[in-house]
Amino acid sequence: MTVTIGIDEAGRGPVIGPIVLCGVSIDEKDIHKLVSLGVKDSKLLSPNVRESMFEKIKKIVKDYKIHVVGPEEVDRAVEATNFNLNWLEATHSAQIINELSGDKAILDCPSTNVPAYTEYVRRLISRKIDLVCEHKADMTYPVVSAASVLAKVVRDREVKKLEEQIGESFGSGYPADPRTKQFLEKNWDKFDFFRKSWSSWKKVKEKKGQKNLVDF
C-alpha cells in the first residue's frame, strides 16, 4: 500500500509570530476519509471548522510532524546572502519528509521556479522518494489540504498564546491588518515576536528613529 506525505505551511506573510510547517502521512486507501471530512485549503475554512477538524485529521492519518519556525530563524533566512524564505521552507519540508515514512511526498511549492525548488528539496532528503512540488497543491491534494489545516490551527494557537502572554490582541499579524499596524506602531521595540526582516517593521523603526532624532 502506497503511503503519501503531504506538506504545507501557515503564516508566511505575517510580521508577527512563527511560520508553521506540517507534514502528514496517510495510506492511499484512507484518502477518501479526508475527502469525506471536507478538508480543503485552510484559508477556505473558518477557524471553528479548522479546530473541529484538527483531532479528526490526526486520527485518520498514519503520522504527522509539525515544525514551528520562530521569527529569529525567519529573519536569519531572509537576511542571509545565500539563503531565503523559500529555501527555509524547503529545508524544513525535507526534514519533515525525513521524519515521516512514505513512498511519495507532495509539497505546496512557494517558489516560481518549481524545478529548482524540487531539486533543492530532493538533495536534502535522505532516501529515494517520489517527489511532487506544485503551486496550490493544498487545493488539489486532500493530503496537502490536511497538512494545511493542521499547520493553520497550530499557527493560530501560537498567536493566541502570544496574545495571552502580553494581555492584548494584535489582530491577524498581517501587515495590512489595521489592528496589527496599530500594534506594531506602538510596540515595535517591545517584543521579540516581530519579524524584524519585514519591511513593515523596518519602516516603523526608521520612522520612530527619525522622530527620536527630532526630539533630541
pTM for the model: 0.94
- The domain limits of the chain are 3-164, 168-215
User: What topology is assigned to 168-215 in CATH?
Assistant: Arc Repressor Mutant, subunit A (1.10.10)
Taking only the tens place, the pLDDT of each residue in 41-98 is: 888 899 999 999 999 999 999 999 999 999 999 999 999 999 999 999 999 999 999 9
Region label for 10, one of left (φ > 0), alpha (ψ between -120 and 50) or beta (otherwise)? beta
Band (pLDDT 50/70/90 cuts) for residue 103 is very high
pLDDT > 80? residue 214: no
Distance CA 157, CA 149 (A): 12
Element (H, E) at 7: strand 3-10
DSSP result, 128-150: --EEEEETTHHHH-HHHHHHHHH
Summarize the confidence of residues 31-42 as an average pLDDT.
Answer: 93
- Dihedral sign (CA 133, 134, 139, 142): negative
Please give the pLDDT value at position 216.
Answer: 45
Please give the pLDDT value at position 212.
Answer: 57
Summarize the confidence of residues 9-36 as an average pLDDT.
Answer: 97
What is the chain's mean pLDDT, rounded?
Answer: 95
Summarize the confidence of residues 179-201 as an average pLDDT.
Answer: 96
Query: How big is the chain by its Cα radius of gyration, in Å?
Result: 19
CB atoms < 10 A from the CB of 32, how many? 11
User: What topology is assigned to 3-164 in CATH?
Assistant: Nucleotidyltransferase; domain 5 (3.30.420)
